């Protein structure tokens, strides 16, 4: 269902993740222990998730247990109890994870980068929230958040595996038919897109680590923008052991422990970032090298060999990533939810193959403006 960071505020950041985790921690008819015992005894996995734009439940079960497992899944999604004791335990677990995150220099960097790059779009928030925002959340606030945003009319259910379609549909309809829907469509509610900016936003933080990290971020394409396939190409060219960043900064320059990039699409705004872990003395040179490679993408088209290699890598990685029923089910459901169509993944290869060197050059110049980006440096504490 639609949700996640997209419907959070600075005050309640983390509420969607906390709420989704509580869906498996007890219902009006079953305790958290009874739910866990049911799934554990059958080798079934029930997982709650909350991301940038959606939240939900994922279940993996044996075909023979499908009908009974769907019944429990329905109970979890439709009538969570938000048990007081379970809520406190889950809240403490999240707070402990957030404290541990402070020891992960890349997590600290990525958090700071998002806060620097985004000022109005919800991408500025963190999936698990902050210690302050999570600590302030009450059981009532989380339960009310669920009631406001739970609308079966916006729900997508996908099933992959060794089950008969008609049997699966019959069982799901029997469970979910009676749920009341509302006219609210969260995905159509106005959320601000991040405006393009023409300055360098910089942030420097200290960490109790020996190494330093530099991370550069740029606004990127949305989920519905065809340029997202172009950015997959750009990411493939820059990252990985054969990528330009690794070759120029680590292999040739011996200036970084690790380096790479990744791209994230959103409904209103997306972003692209490149990073490197290095020493404090090399941080300035490494940052210059990253910018140099980004400027090169804006000036010179990819040669056909590099473009072809990037395409083959992406297509191969996509096929590998969709080899399980779990991954297929997740991708199909979120693509359907976002309006791309449940079978959008079947068009990925064709969309990637259609990208030209000129497309890459145009997209790089459109998004990778080295006069308007976010820069984060994490330095070792003295």
For residue 251, the tally of other CB atoms under 10 A from its CB is 13
DSSP track, 182-217: -S--GGGS--PPPPP--SEEEEEEEESSSSEEEEEE
Measured in degrees and rounded to the nearest 5, phi and psi for residue 229 equal: -75, -35
Q: Mark 153-174 as b/e (b = at least 16 C-beta within 10 Å).
A: ebbbbbbbeebeeeebeebbee
Residue 382 has pLDDT above 80, yes or no: no
The pLDDT value recorded for residue 219 is: 97
Instruction: Write out the two tokens for 108.
Output: 């600290």
Per-residue pLDDT reduced to its tens digit, 33-91: 999 999 999 988 999 999 999 999 999 999 999 999 999 999 999 999 999 999 999 99
Round to whole Å and give the CA distance between 88 and 79. 19
What lies within 8 Å, CB to CB, of 358 at 6+ separation is 301
The pLDDT value recorded for residue 96 is: 97
Beta bridge partners of 273: 217, 262
The packing angle between helices 304-321 and 227-238, to 10°, is 100
Q: How confident is the model at residue 381 (pLDDT cuts 50, 70, 90)?
A: confident
Per-residue pLDDT reduced to its tens digit, 314-343: 999 999 999 999 999 999 999 999 999 999
Output the CA–CA distances (angstroms, integers) from residue 117 to 247, 266, 267, 357, 366, in the order listed.
27, 14, 16, 28, 17
- Alpha-helical regions (H) of the chain: 15-22, 32-41, 66-78, 84-101, 105-117, 131-136, 139-149, 165-176, 227-238, 244-245, 283-299, 304-321, 325-337, 348-353, 357-367
CA dihedral of 66, 166, 185, 14, whole degrees rounded to 10: 10
Instruction: Write out the two tokens for 308.
Output: 């072809």
Residue 242 has pLDDT above 90, yes or no: no
Q: How confident is the model at residue 130 (pLDDT cuts 50, 70, 90)?
A: very high
Per-residue pLDDT reduced to its tens digit, 188-217: 899 999 999 999 999 999 988 889 999 999
Per-residue pLDDT reduced to its tens digit, 358-380: 999 999 999 999 999 999 999 99
Mean pLDDT of 166-170: 94
Round to whole Å and give the CA distance between 181 and 287. 51
Q: How confident is the model at residue 178 (pLDDT cuts 50, 70, 90)?
A: confident
Per-residue pLDDT reduced to its tens digit, 284-298: 999 999 999 999 999
Instruction: Write out the two tokens for 164.
Output: 């008969």
Mean pLDDT of 242-250: 93
């Amino acid at each position: 269902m639609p949700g996640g960071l997209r419907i959070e505020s600075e005050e309640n950041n983390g509420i969607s993740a906390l709420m989704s985790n509580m869906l498996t921690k007890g219902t009006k008819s079953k305790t958290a222990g009874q739910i866990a015992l049911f799934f554990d005894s059958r080798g079934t996995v029930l997982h709650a998730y909350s991301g940038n734009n959606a939240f939900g439940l994922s279940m993996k079960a044996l075909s023979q247990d499908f009908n009974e497992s769907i019944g429990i899944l329905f109970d979890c999604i439709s009538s969570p109890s938000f048990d007081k004791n379970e809520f406190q335990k889950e809240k403490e677990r999240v707070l402990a994870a957030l404290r541990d995150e402070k020891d992960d220099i890349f997590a600290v960097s990525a958090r700071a980068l998002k806060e620097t790059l985004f000022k109005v779009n919800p991408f500025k928030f963190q999936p698990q929230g902050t210690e302050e925002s999570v600590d302030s959340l009450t059981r009532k606030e989380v339960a009310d958040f669920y009631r406001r945003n739970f609308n079966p009319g916006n729900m997508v259910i996908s099933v992959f595996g060794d089950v008969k379609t008609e049997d699966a549909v019959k069982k799901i309809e029997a469970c979910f038919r009676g749920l009341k829907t509302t006219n609210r469509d969260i995905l159509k509610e106005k959320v601000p897109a991040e405006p393009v900016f023409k300055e360098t936003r910089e942030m420097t933080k200290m960490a109790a680590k020996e190494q330093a990290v530099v991370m550069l971020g740029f606004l990127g394409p949305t989920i519905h923008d065809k340029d997202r396939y172009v950015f997959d190409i750009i990411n493939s060219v820059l990252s990985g052991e054969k990528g330009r960043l690794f070759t120029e900064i680590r292999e040739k320059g011996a200036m970084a422990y690790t380096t790479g990039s990744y791209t994230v699409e959103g409904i209103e705004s997306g972003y692209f970032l490149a990073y490197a872990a290095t020493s404090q003395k090399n941080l300035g040179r490494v940052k210059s090298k990253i910018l140099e490679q980004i400027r090169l993408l804006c000036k010179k088209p990819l040669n056909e060999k590099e473009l072809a290699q990037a395409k083959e890598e992406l297509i191969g990685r996509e096929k590998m990533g969709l080899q399980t029923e779990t991954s297929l089910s997740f991708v199909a459901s979120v693509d359907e939810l976002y309006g791309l169509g449940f079978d959008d993944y079947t068009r990925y290869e064709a969309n990637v193959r259609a990208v030209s060197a000129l497309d890459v050059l145009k997209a790089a110049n459109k998004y990778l403006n080295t006069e308007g980006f976010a820069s984060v440096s994490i330095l070792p504490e003295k």
